[in-house]
């Protein structure tokens, strides 16, 4: 726990109702990676719940360094705190070796008007239950589809794919999914490696035909789908190049 962090109480709404917001930030020798983007999303998530983010949070954590660390920022209506840990070996392995990815309909037609799907809240039990279900099916992670078979996001990650010379991700504005910080940063820098970038929709039926598929998230960076719904896929030469672009060193 970071010094200066808040006290916990048994009546905190973050604990009692999952009413709070969080961010997970990769920590490097140079400090927390993409901290401003994560703090901006934290503020947007908090606004969706009507919660204030304490002003001192950035100063509290901006000096933290780690060889390969995970910074977690938590804000609830009554407290805020940060924790730092080493990135777990399971996540480092997903960067290196890729993942077995399966797809499944999330069962949603359209988001109701009160939906918090675009906010990163502490009410994360369903996300983690979805990942556990994927593991029980013999996979590592899950890609949610809408009722038309269009790809949305993973329970804890964004979808990124390569189609020819274009790096693509799903449009958060059109779908109500959580805007991915890592995915947005990657697409913004695609020209540095000679690729275009575009927000698109893609169906599960079209996905096997693309050149590479990744789940993008703060700690993994990119985890390449080496199987999709049980079908093996060759490792893309772009995976190490893009991880390098994102500043993830080989491990």
Contact positions vs its own copies (CB under 8 A): 1, 5, 8-12, 14-20, 22, 49-50, 72, 74, 76, 81, 83, 104-116, 121-130, 132-133, 147
Q: Which C-beta is closer to its own copies: that of 21 or that of 210?
A: 21
d(CA 204, CA 207): 5
Task: Label the pairing between strands 69-75 and 80-86.
Answer: antiparallel
In whole angstroms, the minimum distance from the beta carbon of 135 to its own copies comes to 10
Contacts by 113-116, CB closer than 8 A, 24 or more apart: 115/176, 116/48, 116/49
Q: How far is CA 212 from the centre of its chain?
A: 18
Q: Which C-beta is closer to its own copies: that of 44 or that of 104?
A: 104
8 A C-beta contact, residue 122 and residue 41: no
In whole angstroms, the minimum distance from the beta carbon of 51 to its own copies comes to 10
Q: Which C-beta is closer to its own copies: that of 143 or that of 168?
A: 143
Q: Which C-beta is closer to its own copies: that of 128 or that of 235?
A: 128
Q: Which C-beta is closer to its own copies: that of 127 or that of 166?
A: 127
In whole angstroms, the minimum distance from the beta carbon of 150 to its own copies comes to 14
Q: Between helices 181-188 and 35-49, what is the axis angle to 10°?
A: 140
In whole angstroms, the minimum distance from the beta carbon of 162 to its own copies comes to 28
In whole angstroms, the minimum distance from the beta carbon of 85 to its own copies comes to 9
Backbone angles phi, psi at 227, to 5 degrees: -135, 145
């Amino acid at each position: 726990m970071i010094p200066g962090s808040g006290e916990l109480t048994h009546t905190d709404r973050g604990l009692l109702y999952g009413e709070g917001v969080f961010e997970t930030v990769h920590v490097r020798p140079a400090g927390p990676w993409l901290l401003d983007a994560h703090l901006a999303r934290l503020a947007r998530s908090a606004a969706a719940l009507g919660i204030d983010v304490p002003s001192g949070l950035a100063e509290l954590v901006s000096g933290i360094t780690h060889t390969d660390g995970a910074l977690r920022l938590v804000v609830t209506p009554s407290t805020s705190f940060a924790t730092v840990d080493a990135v777990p070996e399971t996540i480092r392995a997903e960067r290196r070796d890729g993942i077995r990815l399966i797809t499944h309909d999330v069962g949603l037609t359209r988001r109701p008007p009160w939906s918090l799907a675009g906010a990163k809240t502490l009410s994360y039990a369903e996300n983690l239950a979805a990942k556990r279900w994927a593991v029980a099916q013999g996979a590592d992670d899950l890609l949610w589809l809408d009722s038309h078979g269009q790809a949305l996001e993973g329970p804890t990650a964004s979808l990124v794919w390569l189609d020819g010379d274009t790096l693509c991700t799903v449009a958060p504005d059109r779908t109500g999914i959580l805007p991915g910080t890592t995915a947005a940063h990657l697409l913004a820098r695609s020209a540095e490696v000679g690729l275009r970038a575009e927000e698109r929709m893609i169906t599960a039926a079209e996905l096997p035909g693309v050149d590479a598929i990744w789940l993008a998230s703060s700690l993994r960076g990119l985890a390449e789908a080496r199987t999709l719904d049980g079908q093996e896929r060759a490792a893309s030469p772009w995976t190490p190049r893009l991880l390098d672009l994102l500043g993830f060193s080989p491990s």
